[in-house]
Amino acid sequence: MGKILAVTNQKGGVGKTTTSVNLAASLVETGRRILLVDLDAQGNATMGSGCNKHEVARTGYDLLIGHADIQDVIIHATEAGYDLLPGNSDLTAAEVELMNRDDRERRLRSALTYVQNDYELIIIDCPPSLNMLTVNALAAAHGVLIPIQCEYYALEGLSALLETVDQVRQAVNPELEIEGLLRTMYDARNNLANDVSAQLQEHFGDKVYRTIIPRNVRLAEAPSHGMPVLHYDKASRGAAAYLALAGEYLRRHASAEAAAQEPVRAQHDGAQPTHF
């Protein structure tokens, strides 16, 4: 069954959408089947995947409200190479309408169970707030990826996000883990960026991805052409960085899965399982 990854940070403009779109495209490049869920009413991930948010027949709104089955909302983003659950300004209404429902936190989680076997990874691009849509993403997810722009206020708000993650873990989703913190739009010539980066590593250790996403103009240009950077300029530093992130993500999960299977394998080999 596919994993679900929520790309979240309640700050706007930190690289959530850029990361969602380009991690999705980079994983497709490695042969993985990916679904990208655009849960932001701005619809940037939809546009950046080459789909016109004004022309899509249905969005996450129809799904969350129960107007449509998930299979009828998902489209194929041909240019990007992955499947897309589109989003647009209709999602603002979902946020309001969900408030009256008892199962409001679990709407996305329930819907995704129908397609989870069809994908190796489902990536959710979250809105820039800790609203009910973000709570739906966290309730559905196995992991949270937090993009962080290494600037003065970067760490402000991080504790509120981690608290929300804790609350969702306790109330709805015990499986939820912080998957990793990703340094985005990084400029190594900037002393402040280096200071913030050092602080992140001190506080979060291995949870900070080794891959750093540099500031790269090709990453900013690609969405206006409706494509991930990999298809816009494969030779760019931005494309290389997101391919590296995809590689790091896959390696982390491969070693976690191998570790989880280890005792089983040992038993098959006739060895004594280790007890701790």
Ligand X SMILES: Nc1ncnc2c1ncn2[C@@H]1O[C@H](COP(=O)(O)OP(=O)(O)O)[C@@H](O)[C@H]1O
Binding site for ligand X (CB under 6 A): 12-18, 44, 128, 184-185, 213, 215-216, 219-220, 223, 238
Nearer to ligand X, 110 or 190 (CB): 190
Nearer to ligand X, 44 or 59 (CB): 44
Please identify, among the stretches 15-23, 176-184, 243-251, 267-275, the one whose residues bind Mg ion according to the rule CB under 5 A: 15-23
Smallest separation, CB 44 to Mg ion (Å): 5
Return contacts of 200-209, CB within 8 angstroms, 24+ apart.
200/148, 200/150, 200/155, 204/178, 207/178, 207/180, 207/181, 208/180, 208/181, 208/183, 209/180, 209/181, 209/182, 209/183, 209/245, 209/248
Can you tell me which residue has the tokens 């969005």? 59
Q: How far is the CB of 42 from Mg ion (least distance, A)?
A: 6
16 interacts with Mg ion by CB under 5 A: yes
219 and 236 Cβ atoms separated by less than 8 Å: yes
19 binds Mg ion (CB under 5 A): no
143 binds, among Mg ion, ligand X, none (CB under 5 to 8 A by kind): none
Q: What angle do CA 148, 5, 256 make, to 5 degrees?
A: 100
Tokens encoding 77: 């983003």
Least separation, in Å, of the C-beta of 214 and ligand X?
A: 6
Q: Pick between residue 70 and residue 148 the one whose CB is nearest to ligand X.
A: 148
CB of 73 to ligand X, least distance (A): 21
Q: CA-based diameter of the chain, in Å?
A: 60
β-pair partners for 188: none
- Within 31-90, the residues that bind Mg ion by CB under 5 A are 44
**DSSP result, 92-156:** HHHHHHHTT-TTGGGHHHHHHTTTGGG-SEEEEE--SSSSHHHHHHHHH-SEEEEEEE-STTTTT
Nearer to ligand X by Cβ, of 12 and 263: the residue is: 12
Q: CB 75 → ligand X: shortest distance, Å?
A: 21
Nearer to ligand X, 122 or 241 (CB): 241
11 binds Mg ion (CB under 5 A): no
Q: For residues 2 and 238, which CB has a smaller minimum distance to ligand X in the complex?
A: 238
Least spacing, CB of residue 9 vs ligand X, in Å: 6
First to last CA, the chain: 29
Contact residues for Mg ion (CB under 5 A)? Answer: 16-17, 44
